[in-house]
Every structure is written in structure tokens, then in C-alpha cells.
Structure 1
């Protein structure tokens, strides 16, 4: 794997909403934010202030970027997808074109690309598929064959199916209830897709149980897997420590690392999936945290 070209650091920017589009049960925003767009790489995210100037909701909400247009083309825009879950995201999906949003980005570590062309399978769960669309563009540009596997609980919660088909042609779709594609989970069909395309790497973004299952499939087949985790990120800049995960380092030692800074993209085989949400005794510093 090779690191992507170094990008500019994150900026805080007030951007005008250029367009709002309903996509199934989600809302996709296109925001004029040339400073954020300049540094964008697939896998980056933005932290968005919610609630307006006088709100009591002081924490930003993090959203993976599903695209960016550099400032030398049009005005410089970024795109992200929102699902309305709580008061912050419900406020956000009510915004209209012409409103402004306070953004910080691009944040996090992007997806590492292979050193050369390598067959890849991209696996997305729900709107977790959003960051995989620009990743597919980047892989195709370097000559890598790409296939998508997209899943959701129901058809209206799928994201990116038509875009993926226009990009790569073949897309395998699963839904829990069978309302679209094959009934079942993405991991039910993933081994067959990996074998068919002779995949050398899997990229995935979606719910944590899905990512763990993807990691297990990759490990059984001795291929690489890079996953973008969907941990809650209260600050997005590594200060609050709410998004930590137990991850094995290059030295073989496990530590809590911050998803928003050291991630959100991780080598799937280094994440200690069974220990997520726990304090394993062998983590560096675990003894000091044991009484808290």
C-alpha cells in the first residue's frame, strides 16, 4: 500500500449550501467550501456545526465526504450524506439551498491506495457507501479493477447503487428484508465476489459488526482490508477521546487510538474487534485507567 499525496490541513469554513438532494431515506448536501475541497482525499470527513448560532448543541456532527470539486472548477464544493437520527441531524436535514453551514475539514486519514493496479472489492453498508464512491474513482484512475457490494436493512436505505453501476458496471446488492437485490447480508455474498474478481484488497465502510465480519473474511483469504469505522466523533480533532478503538500498532503493542485522527480508516486486521467498547488489560496504559 502507498500513502496518498499529502493534503492541506483542515480549515474552518462557512459554506453556502449549493444543493440539497433526497436519496432514499438520506439527504445529500453539496456545500460551497473551497478550502475543504482543496485538501480532500477519499476517506476524509467533515465536522459540521448544528443547531444554529444560539443552540445548546455544542458538539459538531461528523460526516464522510462522498465527493469534492476543486476550486479551479466552479466554486469548490464538497458533498456529504446525512441520516436523521437525533436532534442535530434532524436540524441539519431541514436546511435548504442558500443556507450556510459551519464546516471543519478535511479531517482524518484517507484510504491508502495500492502501489499499483490491484483488483479491489468495495463494501458499503447503508450510507456508509458514501466515501467509497470517490475511492472507486481513484482506484479506477490507477488501473485497478473494481466491484461494489452494497447492503442495507431495506431498499430505501441503500446508497450509491446507480452511481456505482455507472462507474464499474457490476454491483452486488443485498438487503436484510429482500426488498432490493439478494436477501441477506453483504458478507453472505462477499466471498463469492472476492473469488470472482480475484481481489487483492477489500475496502469497507459501514456498521461495526459488518466491518468485523469483512475483516474475518479478508483474514481467511489472506488479503488486505482497509475499513472506515463509524465511531461517534464528538470533536473530530482528537481532543475528547470519545471515539477510541483498541488497535495493534506496528510494534505489536495494542493501544487506544482516536478514530478521528489516527482513523477513520484502519487496517482491518489490526483492529481488536472483540474488544471494541471494552478496556483490555494488555493495552498500553490500561493499568492507569483501571479505576476509572
Structure 2
């Protein structure tokens, strides 16, 4: 059942290390039932008496029917909140809210799709690939990271994709360089109709530039820090050009995290452009 997000107490089923990352699978049937590729969850960290009040947001990597419905998410330890999560074990409980955000829009007809992932951003692309393939779409993967241990899902991509191209900045896996160095060749060879991308903002900016050159749409799932995940705190705003041509500061958590790449003003992320609606001294609506 698709619908509004729910807050649940989920039981950790499994924890595993995946190279440089951690993956947690949580029994959460109500979240799994409502899931669409591109959705995310927010997780309370630190326990009931913690001073860490803000939730952490994670893209959903996998959903399975086991135990009524499980949800898996992947993360890297970056601070005390994710360090606490990395210490969770089977049968621990977690407070989850989800599924959140706007999922990836799917093509109406079978087409050729290139899926681009940077670091653990690729975690959200595999359930998307599965849905696309069931709709008769061809899927090609381009995955990249700084080093081999930070490329997430290389083996799964090779199993699923028509082609899989891997890049690392240090040359330890695949081609030396970044995903944007090889993307044009993949788009041309596959005769791609659309690109889906998830990863760091700098990567999404480069991927969007390549797609604009080819004149094909790109759906980007942005990685922005989120404190609430439900549109209240305004910490995750991104400048996006709306259909009427006016730039608005939109919330990645509720208006995204998926946007049409050419509408995101990547050069202005982290600022409020002077011509944005409602900007100080700028447009007012």
C-alpha cells in the first residue's frame, strides 16, 4: 500500500559490513509495504536518553518480504550518530520513520536507462533497476568512488546490468577517474534515453552537465543533510527552477530527494540565489 509515511519501532534482523560501509536490515512491514524506489527513512540515534536529537536520513537499499517486510539501508560512519548505528546488533530495536520523499519517476514505455552511483549513493539504484527491468527497460550501470572499498554494489551491478562500468579515483578498481569521465561513452554506446543518478552533489552536477549535452533527461537523487526529514526544519533546502522558470528554495526531504537534474542550480547549492522567490532583496511572491 503506497501512502503516507509511518513511525515504527523496527527490530534489527541483520547487520553486516560491506567494504567501507555498514548495512542494517530492519523488520518494518508498514514501511516496506509503502516503499517505492528512491524513498528514504529517518532513524533516531543514540537511544532514548541521548542528546542526539536529530534523526539521520538513509536511502532505502532493499526491501524484502521476509518477516512481513524488511527494509535495508547502507551508511558510512561519519560521526557519533552513525557510529552508534554501526554498533547495533540483531534483535536491537530502532525508531524509523518512512518511507519518505518523492521516489524516482518511472518511464511509461520500455527504454534504455543508465544508472549512475557515487560512493554508497548507488545503494538506492538496485531496487530501481529491478523495477525498470520488470518494465522491459535495458539497464546499464556506471559506479564510482575514490577507491575500490568505497564502490558499493559492483558485483550486483555486474549481475543485473547489460553493461557495468566502474571507476575509482586511485585506479584500484575499474578505470582510473570519475564517473563523469566515462558517462558520455556509456550513454552513446547504449543509446540511452534517460539517466538516473544518486551520489555526492559534485557528481550529480557533472552527470547533469553530460546529460544536457546529449539532450536526455536525468533524474538525480540529491544527498543533503536532513534534520527532520518531514519538511519542517528547512535544513535541506536546494535551489530548483520550477516549470514556470522561477527559482524556488525547495526541501530535498519532501519535494525531493529526486529532481530533474537540469532544474537544480548546483552552482548555488548552499546559498539562496538573489533571484530566488522570497530571497532577501530579490523576488517576492
Same fold (TM over 0.5): yes
The aligned residue for residue 255 of structure 1 is: 248
Alignment of 1:1-292 (within 5 A): 7-70=2-65, 74-287=67-280
- Once residues 189 and 36 of structure 2 are traced to their aligned partners in structure 1, the CA distance between those partners, rounded to angstroms, is 28
The aligned residue for residue 3 of structure 1 is: none
C-alpha displacement at 1:215, in angstroms?
A: 0.5
CA contact (8 A) 2:275 2:282 kept: no
- Once residues 278 and 102 of structure 1 are traced to their aligned partners in structure 2, the CA distance between those partners, rounded to angstroms, is 32
C-alpha displacement at 1:280, in angstroms?
A: 1.1
C-alpha displacement at 1:288, in angstroms?
A: 6.4
C-alpha displacement at 1:69, in angstroms?
A: 2.0
SS at match of 1:146: strand
- Once residues 264 and 288 of structure 1 are traced to their aligned partners in structure 2, the CA distance between those partners, rounded to angstroms, is 28
Q: Say how many residue pairs are matched.
A: 283
1:167-190, CA deviations, whole angstroms, 9 ceiling, x for partnerless residues? 125211000000111110000000
- Once residues 232 and 18 of structure 2 are traced to their aligned partners in structure 1, the CA distance between those partners, rounded to angstroms, is 33
SS at match of 1:131: helix
C-alpha displacement at 1:238, in angstroms?
A: 0.3
Relative distance call for 1:100 and 1:288 in structure 2 (3 A) is farther
- Once residues 53 and 18 of structure 2 are traced to their aligned partners in structure 1, the CA distance between those partners, rounded to angstroms, is 28
CA contact (8 A) 2:27 2:67 kept: no
Q: TM-score, normalised by structure 2?
A: 0.97
1:217-242, CA deviations, whole angstroms, 9 ceiling, x for partnerless residues? 01011000000000001100000000
SS at match of 1:178: coil
Q: TM-score, normalised by structure 1?
A: 0.95
CA contact (8 A) 2:273 2:279 kept: yes
